Chain A
Amino acid sequence: MIDGFLALYIFILAAFTGHEIISRVPVILHTPLMSGSNFVHGIVLVGAMVALAHADSTLGKVIGFIGVALGAGNAAGGYVVTERMLDMFKSSKGK
């Protein structure tokens, strides 16, 4: 069980980590990075899967189904788009 102060620690430390890792990004990578972090929150898929697995009522299953489909769309679309953008970054020396 993640609760109380332990949960608070995870929230705060993760927030600091997010702040730290992005604070030295060149503007050139802002769009791909926004797209990449957009992909990362596609992990919501996992939460939606667990929710759907535990749904009993029809309404619960419908909502769970929507959640999983949307989460999967976030992850898959986010990945493809980010990968395509980053694929194009080449150095003039490295060709």
Chain B
Amino acid sequence: MNLDTATLLPNIAKASYLIAAVLFILGIKRMASPVTARKGIVQAGIGMVLATLATFAITGGHNIGLIIGAIALGVIPTWLWGKKVAMTDMPQMVALFNGMGGGSAAAIGAGEMIKASQGGVALSKTALVLAVVGALIGAISMSGSIIAWAKLDGRMDKRFTFPGQQYFNLLVFIATVALGAMLVMKLDTTIIVAFFILALLVGILMTLPIGGADMPVVISLYNAFTGLAVAFEGYVMQIEALIIAGMVVGAAGMLLTQLMAKAMNRPISGVLFSNFGGGGQSSADIKGSMKPIEASDAASLLYMADKVVIVPGYGMAVAQAQHKIWELCKQLRERGKEIKFAIHPVAGRMPGHMNVLLAEAGVPYDLIVDMDEINPEFATTDVAIVIGANDVVNPVAKTDKSSPIYGMPILDVANARQVIVIKRGKGAGFAGIENALFYQENCKMLYADGQAAAASLSTELKQIDGGGGH
């Protein structure tokens, strides 16, 4: 039985899709402001439920058992998992769910191709091209996102490289595109299978050599990919809601990816096709030594300060130190000190990752300040506490042209009167680059786990004035 979706879609479903598309756009717009963000996601959620219900109405009960079974299978585990996963693990969850969306778009493409190859409704050339392109992008997004998830979740070694890797990847990609072109000319089941295997392989190969520091950019890129794949398959299925929502996400995701790459001063091509760090880094220019400090001395510095700026990084997430840090900050605020949190655009593993963790700990968002806004303030800051951040505060990015991070905008922590760096050990940052900040005269190293350090600073602070504040 062949149903032509275009003629069967009753107007009521079309209207529901239109409303859903509007709700998605308004929802995303609202999510762009902290005040309305919560309403934005609820709105988009209503759009999704509406569109899903409308689809039940138009599919006329065909394969309804299978549809309901598949929805239950998709919704229940992800819902439960998403509810209980730790806030620090959010980036990889987004990667995983994004991969599912890419896979779904690829499956639509595969299904339509197979149906047409078996003599079903013939697809127009445009539809066929978009089905193939959407399937390619969706499959890359799926396998790439799964690798990104495995890396961020610590299930896979950080990087995997071999000589001539880029050429090999390019070869596989060209082969995939060639198979895709063959499919456009003539649909054949064997070629369809080979095409999907290669497309999935491209996503894996693309993501394997990319290091964890670049993961935010990659996840964002795959998010945009999935959007595009959904839009293309939406054309194939003749459903406007998919085209609109997919394109909106595709364009927004591309922009977000660019903003992120720009903040790291790395072109997107650099993220994808070159490997970061590990090179022979000369530390000849760095003078001085790292000066350790005890928690009690660090607490006195804080006690005497008027203005304290906290600079969190991925290390804070790893140590789950956000709650203890906020405890410490609340104590400082009780003692009349001005507290701010300085966030580098790419601190952590996703843009805004730190904001989410701080929000989880209960830090009001108006204390959290972006890089451009906080940088002039470091000159009037008495103590800057760097917790788990490294490359984003490294002055080498401004001074050493040979450094791989040269040109990356950084937080000017070095300008603060005193800098306390909370760090587990003496190792270099993710990029494997020595940090000149640590050797500066005004910088003291507090060697400890983030959580333990924040807790002991709190305790020491209470020791100083008996815990009462003023």
A interface, CB within 8 angstroms of B = 1-3, 7, 10-11, 14-19, 21-57, 59-61, 63-93, 95
Contacts and interface: CB of A to CB of B under 8 A. Distances in A.
Nearest to B348: A31
Interface size class of B (residues with CB under 8 A): 35 or more
A75 B72 CA distance: 12
B77 A92 contact: no
Contacts of A91: 34-35, 364-366
B126 interface: yes
A37 B14 CA distance: 22
B247 A90 contact: no
A57 B62 contact: no
Contacts of A45: 48, 52, 71, 74, 104
A93 B366 CA distance: 9
B398 interface: no
B222 to A, nearest CB: 10
Given A17-B244, A43-B245, A85-B359, 10 more contacts: A16-B251, A21-B32, A26-B370, A27-B352, A30-B352, A32-B356, A35-B94, A46-B241, A57-B114, A73-B77
A38 B223 contact: yes
Interface of B: 1-3, 5-6, 17, 20, 24-25, 27-29, 31-35, 37-38, 40-42, 44-45, 48, 51-52, 55-56, 58-60, 62-64, 66-67, 69-75, 77-79, 81-83, 85, 87, 90-91, 93-94, 96-98, 100-101, 103-105, 107-108, 110-112, 114-115, 118, 120, 124, 126, 219-220, 223, 226-227, 229-231, 233-235, 237-253, 255-256, 259-260, 343, 345, 350-353, 355-356, 359-360, 362, 364-368, 370-371
Given A32-B37, A43-B230, A60-B111, A54 B3 contact: yes
Given A53-B62, A88-B359, A29 B352 contact: yes
A40 B66 contact: no
B interface, by DSSP: helix, strand, loop or mixed?
A: helix
Given A23-B255, A29-B32, A92-B366, A41 B75 contact: no
23 contacts: A10-B244, A18-B251, A22-B28, A27-B355, A28-B343, A30-B351, A32-B352, A36-B41, A38-B98, A38-B101, A43-B246, A44-B108, A46-B17, A47-B237, A55-B111, A64-B107, A68-B74, A69-B70, A73-B97, A77-B97, A81-B82, A91-B34, A92-B367
Contacts of A49: 52, 55-56, 59, 67, 71
Contact of B111 (A17, A27, A67): A67
Contact of A90 (B40, B104, B107, B364): B364
A73 to B, nearest CB: 4
Contacts of B98: 38, 41, 74, 78
Contacts of B238: 1-2
B28 A66 contact: no
B250 A40 contact: no
A90 B35 CA distance: 8
A52 B394 CA distance: 53
A74 B29 contact: no
A14 B31 contact: no
B101 A80 contact: no
